[in-house]
Every structure is written in structure tokens, then in C-alpha cells.
Amino acid sequence: MNQQSVRVRFAPSPTGPLHIGGVRTALYNYLFAKKNGGKFILRIEDTDQNRFVQGAEEYIVESFAWCGIEFDEGLTKGGPFSPYKQSERKQIYAEYARKLIENGSAYYAFDTPEELSVLRKQYETKKKTFTYNWRVHNVLNNALAFGKEKTEQIIASGIPYVIRFKMPENRTIVMDDLIRGKVEVNTVVLDDKIIFKSDGIPTYHLANVVDDHLMEISHVIRGEEWLPSLPLHILLYKALGWETPQFAHLPLLLKPDGKGKLSKRDGDKLGFPVFPLQWNNPKTGETTRSYCEDGYFPEAFINMLALLGWNPGDERELFTLDELSRIFSLDRVGKSASRFDPDKARWFNHQYLIRKNNEELTLLFLPVLIEKGVLTDSSFVAKVVGLIKDRAYFVGEFWEQSYFFFKAPDEYDAKAVKKHWKIKSYYHMVELKEILINIDDFSSENTETIIKNWITEKKYGTGAVLNVFRLLIVGGLKGPHLFDIISLLGQQETVWRIEKGLHELGRNE
Ligand code: GLU
């Protein structure tokens, strides 16, 4: 492959928030460009004004900024093929539509929506489906039926028209897809698609092909849902006398149970996010959850998406965007659809969380502590974070895993008290308190050795003593290694918590 010539694009329609399937498509394009020293372009395909949603374009740009996916050219970047928004390129498409008419690949059609709807109904009553194609196009209201002169008269009289592509009757189109291999379709099953609408705006098909050509796109990497449009696109390239780019259609993302495509609505229904950033629906006022607001790190999100359909060829699972940029290839994108696994997404976040240094995590945790009214120095928080991060998937879980480092228990878990607070417990704790007061080196290892030796010597039973000890320090039977906890709390606080527990739980007689 000529390394200089790789140019790929992500071409979303701003019809709503970007779903993770779209982010994956963009990511694979980005990685492919990086791997091949190419360029990655963001083009907005907004020819269908009826489906335009306020804020969607900004959302797309902000989502990629959050993900760390950068474009080389496009919407916010500009570049040699500006503008990158189809609504600002309207005048370009008309010229190509005219060219297609002139060379007989397309024709004017005047059928009104009402006429077409009547035809559809007539076919339905005969249990057939109406298709605007070679079987019927010579007898409908169009240039093929009327001839050149009459067509020109109609147009001159101001009657609205669309332009349809004249799909050949019986031709096998052979498509070479970089992921699916060879795909063949006979045009007999295809219709004469509208490529230019009566409002003077092209449909997706024409605009997409024209722009991919003019923007010198070398590889079209997009979702499998566009595969049915590929024969038309290939014929459009041919009819315009252009070379086709290479195509790669990415398999679908499926719901976690494998039943059906992962849709925009699944996130709220199935309890996991499907959008990168929070989306406030301007029409309904509803807000949908997202990876960012749910506490995912963008690196974890990207890593998870990269592996949903692509594999590195070995067992490795953790990759930075840079590493992915070096090893990504379309040969390792599977042909079959990938099932989205929300647990695996959480797992990825956990992997990134435990690898982050404690100081960085502390900065993320501090606002929570402030909100909880905890004032403490950040080096202490960093130590706490170091002890608990192994147990959390998200920074948002840190408080639940660590609140006992910041305040002594107000109450003690009733079940644990019932089970473990025996008559002897009180006396064990009184004795333990004396031992703790006399320890000089309050490190985790030293306190553990001294206390375990004492338990063994006295034959008190490790469980019996340590469960109660933990209960008084933490308020329940949870948390990291007990000796790590007390070492961090320090001698004074540890002793005080035992005294408090003795006082509050009292003798159990
Ligand atoms: N505008 C299309 C979309 O919204 C782009 C399809 C393509 O990449 O060709 O997905």
C-alpha cells in the first residue's frame, strides 16, 4: 500500500448522540490512518434536514475530544477540501447529478409522493411490493417514458422533479470488501434510488460518493448497515468515471444476550451506557447516562471498544491508543458481530484504575471528600487510595470502600456484632488495647507480627480476635488488610477506636 495515500473519514449524520458503535467505527478509521501514516477526516453528512438534531454536531466533536481521538482534517480543523459539512457543499453535487443525467446513468422523475403511494397500495393488495426499477420505470412519470423534449418542457414549466439512478436490469456487481471478502449482488433486486431530491439537495448516496471522491478517500471503513448501499455506490463511481476507494464494512455490535443490534435505547433499558458523553435530548428534555459521567476513563473505554471486533492475534488485552495505532490492521477485524459485554467494560476500567498512580486518583477523589465534609491532607488520601483501589471499578466507589479511614464508626454492623461480640471479646479488646499502646513501630508488618503472636500465645483464636478488632476499627467486617488500615490510621486513632467500641458495645453479659 502506498503509505502516503491513505485517507479515511468518519462521516456521521448529526441525527442524535453518537452511539458506541459509531465511536468504534471512528476509532478503527483513526487507527487505520495512524498505522498507515495516513489522514483521518471528519465530515458531517447533514443532507437530510428532517433528521437534523440540535446539538448533535457539537456532541460528536466533544465526544471525540473526550476519547482522545484526533482528526487531521474536517469539521473543526478545516483542511484542503473545505468545507467538510455537506450542507455547505450543496452547489457541488448538482453538477455531478447533471453529469449522470447527461451520460444516461440517471434520469428526471416527476412522480408525486401521492402517485407513488397509490402504486404502493395497489401492489400491496396484490400481495406484492412496489419497486421503482427497470420493470416499471419506462411507464412511470419520468424522462425515460417522456423522452428528452417533453422532459425539458416539464422542467421548464417549474414542476418539481427528483433525479433517480438508472439501475441496470441484470448485472452482477462484484464487490471486494476488505473484511467480508468478495460479495456479489445482481442488480435485478435493486431499485432506481433517488440521488437528488426535489429541494435541490442530494441524498446520502450521491453526496457520500462525490465527497469521498473529491476528498480523495482511499478506504471507506464503515458499519455493515451500509453494505446494501454498496452496489449503488460502486455504480455511481463507475458512472462518474471515477475509481472506487477500497471498502471495509465492520460487523455489527450486538446486545449482551446476542439477540439483535445494540441500539441507542438499550443503555437505559439494559442498565449500561451506550453513549460516550451525557446527552440531553433537546426534544424530550431527557438525559441519558454515559461512559464519561458513569466514571469510565477514556483510555479504558477506547481499549474496550478496540477489542470489540478486532483482536491483536494474541492474549493481550490492554493497549494504549498509541500501541493500538502501531498494531491495528483490518485483517484482524472479525467477520462476525461482536456481543457487547458490560461486565468486560467495567473490567477494563478497573484495569486502568489500578494502574493509575495514587496521586492522580487522589485528585479525582478529593472533590468527593470535600463534598462529604472531610478535610485531610492529600498525602494521607493517596495512601488510602493505594489500599483500596484494588477493590473498585470506578473512583465513584472509593468513598464506600474507604469512608472508615476518614471517620470513626458511628455504629457497628448489627449482624456482625450479633455473631462476633461475645463475652470474651470485651476482654480481648481491653488486652489488645494495652498491647497496641506499647508498640513502638506501628508499621503494618510489625503490628501484625506482635498481635498474631499474642493471639497464638494466648490461644484466643485468630478469627475471634481479628473479626472483633476489625469491627471496632471499621464498623463492619469489610475493608482492606486490617493491619494496613491501623498502620495508616496511626496508633492514637486505633487505640481511641477500640476505647470507643468498648464503650459503645459494652460488656456482653
Ligand atoms: N452518514 C452515514 C452515517 O451516518 C455515513 C455512512 C458512511 O460512512 O458511508 O453513518
pLDDT tens digits, 229-264: 999 999 999 999 999 999 999 999 999 999 999 988
Contact call for residues 419 and 481 (beta carbons, < 8 A): no
Of 92-106, 400-414, 495-509, the poorest mean pLDDT is in 495-509
User: DSSP string spanning 217-248?
Assistant: --EEEEEGGGGGGHHHHHHHHHHTT----EEE
Q: Domains in the chain, ordered, with CATH?
A: 90-196 (3.90.800.10), 356-405 (1.10.8), 414-505 (1.10.10.350)
Distances (CA, A) of 492 to 392, 411, 439, 495: 28, 20, 11, 5
Q: From 23, 86, 204, give the residue whose CB has the most ligand 1 atoms within 8 Å, as the site to mutate.
A: 204
Strand pairing category for 181-186 and 172-177 = antiparallel
User: DSSP string spanning 315-363?
Assistant: S-----HHHHHHH--GGGB-SS-EE--HHHHHHHHHHHHHHS-HHHHHH
Q: Tell me the per-residue pLDDT of 285-303, one tens digit each, with 9 for 90 and over.
A: 889 999 999 999 999 999 9
The pLDDT of 265-283, averaged and rounded, is: 89
Helical residues (DSSP H) of 172-223, grouped into ranges: 204-214
pLDDT at 68: 97
Ligand 1 site, residue 12, Cβ cutoff 6 A: yes
Q: From 20, 87, 222, give the residue whose CB has the most ligand 1 atoms within 8 Å, as the site to mutate.
A: 222
| CA–CA separation, 340 and 262 (whole Å) | 8
In the chain, % of residues over pLDDT 90? 94
Write out the three cell numbers for 121.
397500495
Element (H, E) at 174: strand 172-177
Q: From 226, 229, 237, give the residue whose CB has the most ligand 1 atoms within 8 Å, as the site to mutate.
A: 226
| CA–CA separation, 267 and 274 (whole Å) | 5
Q: How far is the CA of 57 from the centre of ligand 1 (A)?
A: 14
Contact call for residues 31 and 312 (beta carbons, < 8 A): no
Q: 335 an active-site residue?
A: no
Ligand 1 site, residue 436, Cβ cutoff 6 A: no
pLDDT at 269: 82
The chain-wide mean pLDDT, for the chain, equals 96
Ligand 1 site, residue 428, Cβ cutoff 6 A: no
Catalytic residue among 264, 344, 424, 500: 264
Task: Identify the bridge partners of residue 183 per DSSP, sorted by sequence position.
Answer: 175
Q: How confident is the model at residue 50 (pLDDT cuts 50, 70, 90)?
A: confident
Write out the three cell numbers for 112.
408525486
pLDDT at 282: 86
Q: How far is the CA of 222 from the centre of ligand 1 (A)?
A: 7
Ligand 1 site, residue 222, Cβ cutoff 6 A: yes
Q: Tell me the per-residue pLDDT of 420-464, one tens digit each, with 9 for 90 and over.
A: 999 999 999 999 999 999 999 999 999 999 999 999 999 999 999
Ligand 1 site, residue 47, Cβ cutoff 6 A: no
Task: Identify the bridge partners of residue 85 per DSSP, sorted by sequence position.
Answer: 44
